[in-house]
Chain A
Amino acid sequence: MNNSPYLRKAASVQSVMLRVLLALLPGIAAYVWFFGAAIAVQIALASIAALAAEALILYLRGKPLKLFLTDGSALVTAWLIALSFPPLAPWWLTVLATLIAIIVAKHLYGGLGQNPFNPAMVAFALMIVAYPQYMSRWPGIGASDFATQWAIIFGLQANQALDALSMATPLDALRTALHTVGTTTPATIASALANNPSIGHLAGRGWEWIAAGYLVGGLWLVQQRIITWHLPTAFLATLCLLASVASAINPGEFAGPLFHLFGGGAMLAAFFIVTDPVSAATTPYGKLIFASGVALLTWIIRSFGAYPDGIAFAVLLMNIAVPLIDMATQPRVFGHKKNDRNRHE
């Protein structure tokens, strides 16, 4: 028996997820353009692993396979894992990470809609702790052809060759610079990075264009009303503010805002990771607090921590705080004065 309303908007989880995948394409295109098709291989690996894991768990849980396999949520997780991992990571690392994301971070918590932590970030955090050596296999621009990349991913290439091919990311360069500034030359971060071959106009060579691709896709998602402006704006604005203030005060130790925004995974995080509706805060004010918190923790880890990029840890830490944030930021209900929670015994 179905009750009113009898009319429904043509909307589905599937269409939401597919549009998120579509929005990732500009960034992926830039990725392939600058760093070769290795990333496409990784996306394919992660997608296959995600769908296989999803199918297995759905079968074990007795859930309808077709309905949930086609909802696109596993693919979004898979793509985000592939895009946040180094493209030259060994195949098994990507597959293992995806399996953990789908099986542990998603389904063991109850499946679609139930996971308190962002599955892709769980996978990233686990892998960077467990396999830091593989998690630094970032390619240099034009340093390798597809055949070489393929060989590296599938372990057909000797490791010494790999060292010649991979290159420090902008954040790695920053990390190195941070450790050299003050010890060798009294230069600023900017000048230390200026001589680094991996640094482009804004941040990393190539990386800044990928970030721009994510920005374009992300803005389209806002226009499509898949995500609201709150999360990306709060994240980017907070990161920008912290970097600006810190670099203005002490340019010798802190990188500037453009570097933070266009280096590393900031754009991907702003539009595709902190915006995961399941694990993010949901109220308007809650979203601002959540994303600002992620940005603050990211900046702290980037500036003072042991890992080059802290987005995964920052997201997970803020995920824990979501129930509290949501509870504390409930919007004013029509006709009510602010903050009048309807206390019920």
Chain B
Amino acid sequence: MEVSGRGDQTRHHTLTMRLFDFNGGVKPDYQKEASTQTPIAVSPTPTFLVIPLHQNIGGTPRPLVGAGDHVLKGQRIGAADVAADGNIRGNMSSAIHASSSGRVVAVEMRRMPHPSGLSALCVVIETDGRDEWIARQPFDYRSHTAAETRDYLRDAGIVGLGGAAFPTHMKTSPGKTGRLDTLVVNGAECEPFITCDDLLMRERADAILQGVAILRDLLAAERVLIGIEDNKPEAIAAMQAATRAHNSNDMQVIAVPTRYPAGGAKQLIRVLTGIEVPHGERSTDYGVQCFNVGTAYAVHEAINLGQPLISRIVTVAGNVAAPRNYEVLIGTSMKTLLAQSQCLPDTDRLIMGGPMMGVTLPDDDVPVIKATNCILAGSAKLFPPPPPEMPCIRCGECAAACPADLQPFELYWFSRAKLFGKAQEYHLFDCIECGCCSYVCPSNIPLVDYYRFAKSEIWAHESEKAAADQAREHYEFRQLREAREQQEKAARLAAKVAASRAAVAAAAATAIAAPEKSTAENIPAPTTESATPAALIAAALERARAQQTQPQNTTDLTPEQQAEIAAIEARRAQIREQAHPHLPPDD
């Protein structure tokens, strides 16, 4: 295990455990109080549910229902797109379920909660109001193999509920060693405004811990560290009480200093264990894995109650009169939720996620998906438009704020100048787009936008390069094939000439010579025993004329090939000269 040698370990006053620190980070105004005043409300079942089939990375689940079908609550309507051989890429997919009972009215393209307003295949269900469950069977993971449990979680549609929606079953295998040192449970919730994890921990701590226990068993983790930012004393108390009730000595609830982005998986792992998981590497190889508290809760519901992931807690906050957390069925329109929280008239934008990393949505007529942790109504007052962008003065504020220890202003210069190679050299892809650099920049430069631009350009370039490589391979293969065909043709011709000569000689000797065995199949059998040399030559000339009128594959030849053809032509001329001394040569 690689533990960084930094000496910046801090001690939290309420704890005996030694905490570590990450560099950088910012302390924006958290504004969480507004939505924590009231308990989680259950959002009523809407008349229509629009459930996108593709809600997380991996293949798009196959629809299992069609228009007119009746579905039950919790019924699988999208099967995980698993390759027949169960390979990793195919296994990335996760199943989709009906959030309530009713009738499928359509399986069609609907607008997704995505900044570009793109559409994706959705199952549209008209609910019947009965909320009729499927037969729910708890899953005894102790009597199943790890692979079976992973398949179960995949088919229960469990994905990370912290916002990234990464399929959970892909994260439940211990690393190379077959065991895990530390399971980190993320209750930090560092983004301003978002309080869904806070409320879940306050109200359903016991269920979370049951899910945590399952994850601990699956990963064979020795200890569990539950990290919660110290601005959530109620959640910390509730989780600590639940841990005591559970009598689990291997689980520890730890208050971590409140500093955005302490809830980033890498940052929380660093704070709790001192381990830095490098970009692009599996954390299990470093003896640690991290799950969100909401994910643990969903695992509990799936394993212990037999309920697939059909709802989640969503914070509705920002420019609304009644900010609150709702337990929302996946597929519920955001419009409904905003109406419940009384969205104010001067709302000028809708954000899914928090104000630091959230995405702006084109409008509110999009469904809540598994990744929707917060719906944030924005206004010009709440999020004023940034002042005019000034030149970078290299003040270094961004570098001081970067939790990935990057030099953001250097990446900015490189991205701006389209020096993408340099940007990669300065570890552009280690950027987690947390927004700290843009937040502190005195020149109001939208730094993260420059990195998004550079990353997308690099991705586009790489896919273009891949396409170009493929095209070049195709071209080279074609050239190779054409060259081979030329050679074969030349060989055939030579054999044919040899056969003709043999035939001439045979005719002269009134005997038939057998063609060479190797080229026998390419050569038409000697026509007749009575073939005269003149007839053979006439036939050969006829073939040559026919060939000349056909399009020839003689363009774009290499010098070698041209030389070879020239040699063949010369031999042909020589042969003709021999066979018919008085005919003039071709040229």
- A contact set with B: CB distance below 8 Å: 1-9, 11-13, 15-16, 64, 67, 71, 73, 111-114, 226, 228, 277-278, 282-283, 326, 330-336, 341-345
Cα distance, A161 to B36, chains bound together (Å): 77
Partner of B358, one of A6, A8, A282, A341: A6
B391/A6 in contact, CB under 8 A:
no
Cα distance, A343 to B276, chains bound together (Å): 21
A11/B442 in contact, CB under 8 A:
yes
B102 contacts the other chain (CB 8 A): no
Cα distance, A326 to B433, chains bound together (Å): 23
B175 contacts the other chain (CB 8 A): no
Cα distance, A126 to B394, chains bound together (Å): 26
Output the nearest chain B residue to A5 by Cβ-Cβ distance. Answer: B435
Partner of B391, one of A111, A332, A342: A111
Cα distance, A112 to B266, chains bound together (Å): 36
B426/A7 in contact, CB under 8 A:
no
Cα distance, A228 to B396, chains bound together (Å): 9
Most chain B Cβ neighbours within 10 Å, of A5, A226, A330 = A5
22 A-B Cβ contacts within 8 A? A1-B360, A4-B356, A4-B433, A5-B448, A6-B356, A7-B383, A8-B439, A11-B441, A16-B442, A67-B388, A112-B390, A113-B391, A278-B393, A282-B410, A331-B399, A331-B405, A334-B403, A334-B404, A335-B266, A335-B430, A342-B424, A344-B425
Cα distance, A277 to B400, chains bound together (Å): 14
Cα distance, A289 to B393, chains bound together (Å): 20
B448/A336 in contact, CB under 8 A:
no
Cα distance, A342 to B410, chains bound together (Å): 14
Q: Distance (Å) between the CB of B164 and the closest chain A CB? A: 15
Output the nearest chain B residue to A6 by Cβ-Cβ distance. Answer: B383
A4/B355 in contact, CB under 8 A:
yes
Output the nearest chain A residue to B435 by Cβ-Cβ distance. Answer: A5
Query: Cβ of B446: which chain A residues have Cβ within 8 Å of it?
Result: 2-3
Q: Distance (Å) between the CB of B270 and the closest chain A CB? A: 8
Q: Distance (Å) between the CB of A91 and the closest chain B CB? A: 30
Cα distance, A112 to B435, chains bound together (Å): 24
A13/B266 in contact, CB under 8 A:
no
Query: Cβ of B439: which chain A residues have Cβ within 8 Å of it?
Result: 5, 7-9
Cα distance, A186 to B405, chains bound together (Å): 56
Cα distance, A282 to B407, chains bound together (Å): 9
Knowing A1-B360, A6-B383, A7-B383 are in contact, say whether A113-B392 is a contact too (CB < 8 A): yes
Q: Distance (Å) between the CB of A95 and the closest chain B CB? A: 25
B230 contacts the other chain (CB 8 A): no
Query: Cβ of A15: which chain B residues have Cβ within 8 Å of it?
Result: 442
B396/A5 in contact, CB under 8 A:
no
B278 contacts the other chain (CB 8 A): yes
Output the nearest chain B residue to A67 by Cβ-Cβ distance. Answer: B388
Q: Distance (Å) between the CB of B51 and the closest chain A CB? A: 26
Count of B residues near A, CB < 8 Å? Answer: 65
B393/A341 in contact, CB under 8 A:
no
Cα distance, A7 to B276, chains bound together (Å): 28
B217 contacts the other chain (CB 8 A): no
Partner of A333, one of B357, B383, B430: B430
Cα distance, A111 to B392, chains bound together (Å): 11
Query: Cβ of B257: which chain A residues have Cβ within 8 Å of it?
Result: none
Q: Distance (Å) between the CB of B288 and the closest chain A CB? A: 12
Among B22-30, B106-114, B511-519, the stretch in contact with A: B22-30
Query: Cβ of B356: which chain A residues have Cβ within 8 Å of it?
Result: 4-7
Q: Distance (Å) between the CB of B334 and the closest chain A CB? A: 17
Query: Cβ of B440: which chain A residues have Cβ within 8 Å of it?
Result: 9, 11
Q: Which B96-150 residues have C-beta < 8 A from chain A?
A: 115
A5/B357 in contact, CB under 8 A:
yes
Query: Cβ of A278: which chain B residues have Cβ within 8 Å of it?
Result: 393-394
Cα distance, A16 to B438, chains bound together (Å): 16
A343/B452 in contact, CB under 8 A:
no
Q: Which B257-301 residues have C-beta < 8 A from chain A?
A: 266, 270, 276-279, 281
Q: Distance (Å) between the CB of B2 and the closest chain A CB? A: 8
Query: Cβ of B378: which chain A residues have Cβ within 8 Å of it?
Result: 6
Cα distance, A112 to B395, chains bound together (Å): 12
Cα distance, A345 to B458, chains bound together (Å): 13
A67/B390 in contact, CB under 8 A:
yes
Query: Cβ of B409: which chain A residues have Cβ within 8 Å of it?
Result: 282
B406 contacts the other chain (CB 8 A): yes
Query: Cβ of A341: which chain B residues have Cβ within 8 Å of it?
Result: 425
Cα distance, A13 to B444, chains bound together (Å): 9
B240 contacts the other chain (CB 8 A): no
Q: Distance (Å) between the CB of B424 and the closest chain A CB? A: 4
Output the nearest chain B residue to A3 by Cβ-Cβ distance. Answer: B449
B455 contacts the other chain (CB 8 A): no
Given contacts A333-B427, A344-B424, 7 further A-B contacts (CB under 8 A): A7-B435, A12-B443, A277-B396, A278-B394, A282-B394, A330-B426, A334-B406
Cα distance, A114 to B391, chains bound together (Å): 8
Q: Which B520-559 residues have C-beta < 8 A from chain A?
A: none
Query: Cβ of B270: which chain A residues have Cβ within 8 Å of it?
Result: 334
Cα distance, A332 to B388, chains bound together (Å): 32
Query: Cβ of B178: which chain A residues have Cβ within 8 Å of it?
Result: none
B386 contacts the other chain (CB 8 A): yes
Knowing A282-B396, A282-B409, A330-B426 are in contact, say whether A7-B29 is a contact too (CB < 8 A): yes
B393/A12 in contact, CB under 8 A:
no
A12/B391 in contact, CB under 8 A:
no
Query: Cβ of B448: which chain A residues have Cβ within 8 Å of it?
Result: 3-5
Output the nearest chain A residue to B395 by Cβ-Cβ distance. Answer: A277
A13/B404 in contact, CB under 8 A:
no
Cα distance, A278 to B359, chains bound together (Å): 33
Cα distance, A198 to B192, chains bound together (Å): 59
Knowing A282-B409, A336-B278 are in contact, say whether A4-B424 is a contact too (CB < 8 A): no
Partner of A335, one of B192, B277, B452: B277
Knowing A277-B395, A278-B393, A334-B22 are in contact, say whether A4-B426 is a contact too (CB < 8 A): no
Cα distance, A177 to B281, chains bound together (Å): 65
Q: Distance (Å) between the CB of A84 and the closest chain B CB? A: 21
A9/B26 in contact, CB under 8 A:
yes
Most chain B Cβ neighbours within 10 Å, of A2, A9, A16, A282 = A9
Knowing A2-B386, A8-B386 are in contact, say whether A336-B452 is a contact too (CB < 8 A): no
Query: Cβ of B444: which chain A residues have Cβ within 8 Å of it?
Result: 8, 12
Query: Cβ of B387: which chain A residues have Cβ within 8 Å of it?
Result: 12
Q: Distance (Å) between the CB of A166 and the closest chain B CB? A: 37
Cα distance, A71 to B446, chains bound together (Å): 19
Partner of A331, one of B407, B425, B443: B407
Cα distance, A344 to B423, chains bound together (Å): 9
Cα distance, A6 to B374, chains bound together (Å): 15
Query: Cβ of B421: which chain A residues have Cβ within 8 Å of it?
Result: 344-345
Partner of B279, one of A4, A335, A343, A345: A335
Output the nearest chain A residue to B356 by Cβ-Cβ distance. Answer: A5
Cα distance, A23 to B431, chains bound together (Å): 35
Cα distance, A344 to B386, chains bound together (Å): 34
B385 contacts the other chain (CB 8 A): yes
Knowing A333-B430, A334-B22, A335-B266 are in contact, say whether A5-B395 is a contact too (CB < 8 A): no
